[in-house]
Amino acid sequence: MRTRASVEQKAYLKEASDSNALSAVYRGLDILGETCWTINRRVFDVVVTVWNSGEAIAEIPPQASKLDYPPEPESATWDVKSRLDWLQECKRMSRIMQNAHSVRCDVNYKLEIARAVCLFEGFAYH
């Protein structure tokens, strides 16, 4: 189970485990783990279309290459504040692109699992 680097949370979890208070949680996780996946074909097709477009829709961020850094202002060559503001904005955009890439990797991983299930279920995908 995940904990948030909290000493108290780890102590509570250990105590619950030692007193067998987690058996219902473990049973529920076992049942969930044994449940077969099914893929809603229409939803899958929409997600593949969105993914392939590279556009941001719902919880799927855009491809990082579709985002642009702000242009350097002309005043940045002689105005220190203007240059610092522009650099801060570039750093902010860089963080946005890194986060978008991370989320896209996560979505791609899930999409590949869904594709494998689709192949197992015997229907083609594009």
Per the structure, the count of domains in the chain is 2
Of 8-12, 109-113, 120-124, the least confident: 120-124
* Enclosing domain of residue 75: 41-121
Domain shared by 14 and 69, yes or no: no
pLDDT of residue 6: 84
Q: Is 61 exposed, middle or buried (0-12, 13-18, 19+ CB in 10 A)?
A: buried
Domain shared by 111 and 71, yes or no: yes
- 25 within some domain: yes
pLDDT of residue 92: 92
- 54 within some domain: yes
- 94 within some domain: yes
Q: How far is CA 16 from CA 1, 6, 10, 20, 24, in A?
A: 12, 15, 10, 6, 11
- The mean pLDDT value for 86-111 works out to 89
Kindly tell me if the per-residue pLDDT of 123 is higher than 80. no
Helix (H) or strand (E) run with residue 34 in it: helix 23-34
pTM for the model: 0.57
Q: How far is CA 69 from CA 94, 99, 120, in A?
A: 8, 15, 43
pLDDT of residue 26: 87
